[in-house]
Amino acid sequence: MLQEVHVGHKFLADYQSVVVRPLIEEIRELAEGLKGARVLHINATSFGGGVAEILYTLVPLMRDVGLDAEWRIIMAEQEFYEGTKITHNALQGNAIGLDETQKRIYEKNNRLTSESLGKGFDFIVVHDPQPLLLRHYAGDLGAKWIWRCHIDTSTPNQEVADYLLPYIQHYDTALFTLNDYVFKGLDIPIKVIAPAIDPLSTKNMALSPEDADYVVSQFGVEPDRPLLLQISRFDPWKDPLGVIDAYKIVKKEFASVRLALVGSMATDDPEGWSFFTSTVEHAGDDSDVLILSNLNNVGNLEVNAFQSRADVIIQKSIREGFGLTISEGLWKAKPTIGGNVGGIPQQITDGESGFLVDSVEQCAEKCMWTLDHPKEAKIMGRAGKEHVRANYLTPRLLRDYLKLFTELKG
């Protein structure tokens, strides 16, 4: 089954003060040739994780510039999501693949879902592996089909990659975040397009220090103590346990430091709960470690407040397709430390606009340097913000999609 996600209104005109004018003009020009085009985005969840984050802005902006865009999510039985999480992990390099039963569940749910697609779309953009098989079961339906992979597929479990490859081959084009992620043996047109954040969303809009302090104080964060922060799903690839270990090292030098781990529970992530429990256990009874989720009412404004208030933003991932949280931290001009993997080095130039780390010890060391050098860290944060402005804000992503649609239409 496919369920429509209702998005609010957004206006490209509002972004004129945040990005350069030629970009806005280019978008308007491209949109002129695509007026009324029907675009369908399909993914697996409307909540939690980067894809939902992107679509909440991209879809209304596509509408604002004249396209008839909509967003639907695939709704399936629990076993389907267990299988797709295995697929996700396998594509990021995990040795465990799908067994035959799991493959049949994956295929069955895609086949049944394909029956409710309907016709009349000009472009169908399928995000990530969960709905990937729709193109195979639906036929082309007179649309151009685009598969958008958001995952770090640089060193995939080859058996799973080989199983998916023929299904990807049915698409008119595939989009990846980095060249390194392109599936070996894929011979359809490929584009490399980075994701983006919405600078005007509740999560990223400017928040005064007073407002940020007030919001985080509701969660017991004191204004005068240094705060380390990681915002991410409770997922081993995001390495929250490593972040806790780094914090423990920092704590020996900076006794007043606190750590906040904020992670949402995505509906398509059945592993989230058990890993949440492991994370809580790993933190032990240290009351200076705060572990929160959307179930504690940490929504977009609260995430913004934590990011705006943090002294150091960490994203110590071991694999990371892109890592929107890095751009979100840098957009707030915050000292940001990221794992040296996947899309993170695109966003952070080590030592200039943040730090890239390969270990717990390095992460701790860079946190301590940052706490010791607030002025220098601020300069780095500002450099990071300008890098994000130039490359990772939604109008650029919108432009890239419109360019692609124009090419496919031609």
Q: Which residues bind ligand UDP (CB under 6 A)?
A: 49-50, 53, 203, 231-233, 262-264, 293-294, 298, 303, 322-325, 328
- State in angstroms the smallest separation of the CB of 323 from ligand UDP: 5
As a whole number of angstroms, the distance between CA 122 and CA 71 comes to: 14
Which CB atom, from 294 or from 340, has the smaller least distance to ligand UDP?
Answer: 294
- State in angstroms the smallest separation of the CB of 62 from ligand UDP: 19
- The pairing of beta strand 38-43 with beta strand 123-127: parallel
Which CB atom, from 122 or from 271, has the smaller least distance to ligand UDP?
Answer: 271
Which CB atom, from 30 or from 292, has the smaller least distance to ligand UDP?
Answer: 292
Which CB atom, from 216 or from 298, has the smaller least distance to ligand UDP?
Answer: 298
DSSP for 143-167 reads SEEEEE--S--SS--HHHHHHHHHH
Q: SS3 for 31?
A: helix
- State in angstroms the smallest separation of the CB of 382 from ligand UDP: 21
- State in angstroms the smallest separation of the CB of 23 from ligand UDP: 22
Q: Would you say 384 and 148 are in contact if contact means Cβ atoms under 8 Å apart?
A: no
As a whole number of angstroms, the distance between CA 104 and CA 109 comes to: 9
How many residues are there in the chain? 410
Which CB atom, from 48 or from 395, has the smaller least distance to ligand UDP?
Answer: 48
- State in angstroms the smallest separation of the CB of 120 from ligand UDP: 30
Q: Would you say 116 and 134 are in contact if contact means Cβ atoms under 8 Å apart?
A: no
Per 3-state DSSP, the chain is made up of helix, strand and coil in percentages (nearest 5) of: 45, 15, 40
- State in angstroms the smallest separation of the CB of 294 from ligand UDP: 6
Q: SS3 for 44?
A: coil
Q: How far is CA 141 from CA 38, 130, 136, 316, in A?
A: 13, 20, 11, 42
Residue spans of alpha helices (H) in 140-260: 158-169, 209-217, 240-253
As a whole number of angstroms, the distance between CA 214 and CA 289 comes to: 19
- State in angstroms the smallest separation of the CB of 313 from ligand UDP: 11
Which CB atom, from 311 or from 320, has the smaller least distance to ligand UDP?
Answer: 320
Which CB atom, from 236 or from 335, has the smaller least distance to ligand UDP?
Answer: 236
DSSP for 83-115 reads HHHHHHHHHTT-S----HHHHHHHHHHHHHHHT
- State in angstroms the smallest separation of the CB of 210 from ligand UDP: 22
Which CB atom, from 304 or from 353, has the smaller least distance to ligand UDP?
Answer: 304
